[in-house]
Amino acid sequence: MISRQFQECLRRLPVEARKLLSVIVCQAYRGSLRSKEPGIATLPEVHEACGLDVDGMYAVLRMLLDQSVIEISGQYPFEEIHLTSPDEQTIFEHCQEHQIPLDCILVDLQFERLGA
């Protein structure tokens, strides 16, 4: 269902980066700003949802950028986070459809819950 490459990328990320990615994916597909394109989260909505201070959030975002899981465009305070893999949307939609908490896949790496 998701690529082996994306699974390996998630395994390389520390847990705090996977937690932030889960928040970003939620905001990108179900966030409070409905005027944005699917697959895009804004820095203000992610910051509000993630519980990290600004410096902490940017440090973890750097980890996600370094692994090419996300891209950031725009200038502060209008930065947008773009998801780079179709696997992120696939995981989100599967979790929604089967009522699986997104963190089970993105944070806890329970890929077996995705099925075949």
Give the pLDDT confidence of 22-38 residue by residue, as tens digits. 999 999 998 765 667 88
The reply to whether 101 falls in a domain is: yes
For residue 116, is pLDDT > 60?
no
CA 37 to chain centre: 15
What pLDDT, on a 0 to 100 scale, did the predictor assign at position 89?
A: 95
Structural domain of 81 = 4-111
28 token code pair: 């990108």
Domain assignment of residue 116, yes or no = no
**Burial per residue of 7-45, b for 16 or more beta-carbon CB atoms within 10 angstroms, e otherwise:** eebbeebeeebbbbbbbbbbbbbebeeeeeeebbbbbeb
pLDDT tens per residue, range 54-81: 999 999 999 999 999 999 999 977 899 9
Residue 64 tokens read as 């996600």
Question: Number of folded domains in the chain?
Answer: 1
Mean pLDDT of the chain: 93
